[in-house]
């Protein structure tokens, strides 16, 4: 079964600050053309928001983070 939880970068928002790349200790990111790129989805830790929390542009969302991805009032606590 393929990994469900991993980061996805909105390249239109990303400013290339590398905070996400520097934050992650699990080898999920590599640098490609001066931008962080997700190269190792399998390395990402289920439920971790570490890189997304560091992103100044809020350019990172997570596959599998349905509560954030689906904008529905049923998700409001």
Q: Which residues bind ligand SF4 (CB under 6 A)?
A: 7, 9, 14-20, 23-24, 26, 28, 36, 44-45, 48-51, 54-57, 59-60
Which of 14/77 has CB closer to ligand SF4? 14
Which residues are registered as beta bridge partners of 29? 38
Helix (H) or strand (E) holding 21: helix 19-23
Which of 64/76 has CB closer to ligand SF4? 64
How far is 30 from 67, CA to CA, in rounded Å? 27
For the bound state, the minimum distance from the C-beta of residue 17 to ligand SF4, rounded and expressed in Å, comes to 4
How far is 8 from 63, CA to CA, in rounded Å? 7
Which of 65/74 has CB closer to ligand SF4? 65
Name, in order, each residue with C-beta under 8 angstroms of 65's C-beta and a sequence gap of 6 or more: 5
For the bound state, the minimum distance from the C-beta of residue 69 to ligand SF4, rounded and expressed in Å, comes to 15
């Amino acid at each position: 079964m393929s990994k469900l939880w991993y980061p996805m970068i909105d390249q239109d928002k990303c400013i290339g600050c590398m905070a996400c790349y520097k934050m992650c200790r699990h080898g999920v990111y590599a640098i490609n053309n001066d931008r962080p790129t997700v190269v190792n989805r399998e390395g990402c830790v289920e439920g971790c928001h570490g890189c997304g929390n560091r992103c100044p542009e809020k350019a990172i969302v997570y596959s599998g983070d349905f509560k954030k991805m689906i904008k529905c009032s049923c998700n409001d606590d």
